[in-house]
Structure 1
Amino acid sequence: MLGLFVAYLDRTTLSVALPGVAEDLGFAGERFSMTAGWALTAFLIGYAVANFFGGMLTRNIDAKKVVIWTFAIWSAATVYVGFTHSLVALLACRLILGLAEGVYWPQQSRFAKAWFAPGERTKANAVVQYYGQFGAMALGFILLTPLYNMAGWRVMFVVMGAIGLVGIVPLFIAALRPESEAPYAPASTSGPRHSKPLTFASLGGYPFLLLLFSYVMQGMLFWGVTLWIPLAVKSVGFSGMSQAVASSLPYLMAVVLAWPISRISDRTGKRVLIASLGLLIPGVLMMLLPTVDSGYAKLALITLALGYYASSYSPNIWSILQSTIEPESIGSASGIINGIGAGGGGTLAGLLVGALYRNTGSYMPGFVTLGALVILGGVALLAYGRLMNTRRAAPTGESTTRNVRV
């Protein structure tokens, strides 16, 4: 949780620092929206590639070793940004950040699968991943904005990279334990590791594609809003510290809602239904943005949409995945889904919001478009639930779906 907290702070530094970075590196003015869009999404391009391949390439390496080395690499790249005067170097470091965090991310599902009982995995995912992730998003703008205003963007990048190098990496070395000691580790960890080949069937077959589509749509919602939210809230009337607080509110809402919804999900087993509503309801809320004029009303809709989505969809989708994928394929499946969904979907969304802003002068048309797309993701996930219920009822599907409650 602490590791992911710092990882997400490292991701959001550029969103906070963009005005100062643009001035110092020479892309303020007419070049801003296009260059800023590429600077923000360079991370996601590396993230998409590394998630997709990183989960597969690290199947036979202990997750503890993977997270230590990847954290050290991107922390060093973050420190370097604080000293660069080159836009190319900035883009390269953001790409390295994405590549390293992309390999890091699939290990989270390996930890949750190996260390927590099946009936506790939604809560486990909420603690390990989403209190780390959304805790960082909730506090990140509040913590980073004053640091940026007081010391400048260069100091902010150096401080954040140093936290990883001298704080998190030593903590991981001392405190994390190898997967072979975990109570629910794959049986292959005690002998030849992961001897089974990765196949489409081991990923769950065709229903996996519905999960993947829903994740692409949520990736577009999350990253399309997250990459641009500091500038979006500024455009509707917030500035200074109020801008930082306004940018944090959607993620604070997620932190508040995640635990009770996770408990309901584990108790009822209705994970697919709860996750589907976590896309459908936020999609409708985002599409209501043009109907209100007040900046406070727009912020309220965005806050409710992202808060409810993050607390309902995010922890549940990984519990669903961990219940339907063969244990040896968890890391690979998580990487594929997160790489294509967050990396690919997030890149498209970041560029989409930026392009619509250039054409309209407002971030709201992009946000509305994201709302329409995420509704499609909710429909796909409902179709997945219906398909899995049908398979459960069929004798031939019993072996692959017996543990799935939808």
Structure 2
Amino acid sequence: MTNETKIPNTRWWRILPATVLVYIVANIDRANISFAMAGGMMEDLGLDAVAIGMAIGIFFWGYLLLQVPGGHLAERKSAKHFIAAMIVIWGGCATICGFISTSFEFNVVRFILGIAEGGIFPAILVIISHWFPPAERARANSIFLLSFPLSAIISGPISGWLIATWGWREMFIIEGVASIALIFLWMPLIADRPSKAKWLSAEERNWIESELAAEAAAKKAAAATNKSATKTSYRELVFDINLWKMVAVYFLICCAFYVLSFWLPTIIKDILKADIGMVGWLSALPNIAAALGIVFFGRMADKSQNRRKYCIIPYVCVGLCIIASVFTASYSGWLSFAFLCLCGFFWLSGHPVLWTIVAETFQPEVAGGARGAINALGNLSGFFAPMLLGYMIQNYSRDAGMYIFAVLVFLAAVIVWSMPKNAETKAAVEKTREHVAATTNAHA
């Protein structure tokens, strides 16, 4: 049986909800500083725009440290147990944020929080690559990456309400304790591979493993035309131009994403003159749009198998929407906010497609490390981008800073356009799948 629609879909209802839930909470604990900023933390701790940019950005230097090791351990050892340990550590750090009294203490705790969260993203991508073959991987990545907008949708009203009811310190403490409780859901739900899942039917397990075997064979068959497919050591991987293109793309698009994410409540408060409770609700709207965009572009990328196209379109649209939002802010706050919501539809839509390109480009021996390297170096934008915007605000204007980030997103689209097409790999996968099907039928 080779038609995936006839295969049981337990993996979709067991693996993906657990990964989404974990990363929703991780994102809340990473980004709730944006609501603390708008809710009085800056005044209480005496932080200016540059200092808060440092507090936001220091997280990402810690985040850098476990990216490649985390991806490597997840691929070679156990992603499940690695993530379980990190859940406990990051939850503890998130809780401690509610007890800090100086900017130095906050920077230290945020740095450790970054270390704890660092390896989780590539580890989850490894789990997905072990459970979802190429024909459905962009959709699986899309569902996982719904954790970004869903966390913002949930975080906005909850964080705004917690701050309005008690204060920013209590927000950190309550949301941190909730993170630690995740361990009791993660451990029973997840298995590293189909072969280790006792709850999986033999039919579904055999189909997944045969599809993944076809993918591995296809990569070897495409080695003559796809040089990246021959990279089986990290030393070779370092000199692969496609790796560095992906790093550059992810860095540039994350610059815009983190600026919009961390400054969104403040921007909404300024252009609409809204109170913190209303800001929490309004900040959910761009992220609802983001959830719709992720699903739409993930489906289109799987349907057409044209990965580059469905990275480039959302990246270009993000840049255009940023420009439109800034330009219209002086005329109508609500029109400017409408463009922010439209920007939300596109700002994460290229991510699942880009990560699918990564899985299809590199051999399994180095794919985990490649994911870690791209995510680590790309997420350094979370350090530089908020500080750059803080500098632009203090010395020029926020509008000038936003225009810079629009240009960076356009540059990301150009780099994606320069990347190789996936036509050769797609053809090899189809050919290998047909061979597997013919062999199976012959032995039936």
TM-score range, shorter chain: 0.7 to 0.9
Judge conservation of contact 1:225–1:367 (CA < 8 Å) in 2: no
Are 1:273 and 1:385, in contact at CA under 8 Å, matched by a contact in 2? no
Match of 2:341 among 280, 303, 317: 303
Give the Cα separation in 2 of the matches to 1:84 and 1:290: 35
With the length of structure 2 as denominator, give the TM-score of the two structures.
0.79
User: 2:389 is matched with which residue: 331, 341, 353?
Assistant: 353
Please give the alpha-carbon distance, in whole angstroms, between the structure 1 residues aligned to 2:344 and 2:338: 10
- Partners of 1:402 and 1:99 in 2: CA distance: 39
Structure ID, larger Rg: 2
Give the Cα separation in 1 of the matches to 2:408 and 2:288.
24
User: Quick one: structure 1 residues 87 and 309, their matched pair in 2 at CA, closer, same or farther if it must change by over 3 Å?
Assistant: closer
Aligned to 1:170: 184
Asked if structure 2 preserves the Cα contact closer than 8 Å seen for 1:202 and 1:326, the reply is no
**Range moving further from structure 2, 1-10 or 223-232:** 223-232
Distance in 2 between the 1:111 and 1:59 partners? 8
Q: Is the 8 A contact 1:110 1:331 kept in 2?
A: yes
Equivalent position amino acid for 2:122 in 1: P
**1:256 is matched with which residue?**
292
2:265 to 210, 230, 234: 230
What is the match of residue 212 of structure 1?
247
Match of 2:362 in 1: 325
Displacement, 1:275? 0.7
Give the partner amino acid of 1:314: H
Residue 197 of structure 1 and its aligned partner are, at CA, apart by 6.2
- Residue 232 of structure 2 contacts residue 365 of structure 2 at CA under 8 Å; is this kept in 1? no
Query: Which position in structure 1 is the counterpart of 2:156?
Result: 141
1:11 aligns to 2:30 (yes or no): yes
Q: Any idea what the Cα deviations from partners look like across 1:115-148, whole Å, max 9, x if unmatched? A: 11210111101112x1222211222112211111
* Distance in structure 2 (CA, Å) of the matches to 1:373 and 1:283: 8
1:178 CA drift (Å): 3.0
Q: CA deviation at 1:253?
A: 0.4
1:87-126 equivalences in 2 (<5 Å): 87-126=103-142
Q: Do 1:204 and 1:325's aligned partners in 2 also have CA atoms closer than 8 Å?
A: no
% identical aligned pairs? 25
Structure 1 regions of 5+ residues with no counterpart? 188-195, 393-397
Contact 2:75–2:126 (8 Å) recurs in 1? no
Question: 1:284 aligned to 315, 320, 323, which one?
Answer: 320
Distance in 2, matches of 1:3 and 1:125, equals: 14
Instruction: Describe the SS at the equivalent of 1:227.
Output: helix
In the alignment, does 2:403 pair up with 1:368? Answer: yes
Secondary structure (helix, strand or coil) at the match of 1:8 reads helix
2:56–2:382 contact (8 Å) kept in structure 1: no
The one of 418, 421, 424 aligned to 1:383: 418
Are 2:314 and 2:346, in contact at CA under 8 Å, matched by a contact in 1?
A: yes
Name 1:337's counterpart in structure 2.
Answer: 374
What's the offset of the Cα at 1:279? 0.9
Alignment-mate amino acid for residue 226 of structure 1: S
CA distance in 1, matches of 2:378, 2:170: 32
Shift of 1:15: 0.9
CA pair 238-249 structure 1, distance change in 2 beyond 3 A: farther
Paired with 2:368 and 2:284, the residues of 1 have a C-alpha distance of 30
2-structure distance, mates of 1:204, 1:71:
34
TM-score normalised by the chain length of structure 1: 0.86
> Structure 1 residues 373 and 269 mapped into 2: Cα distance closer, same or farther (>3 Å)?
same
- Alpha-carbon distance, 1:57 to partner: 5.3
The residue matched to 2:77 in structure 1 has which SS? coil
Between the two proteins, the alignment pairs up a number of residues equal to: 378
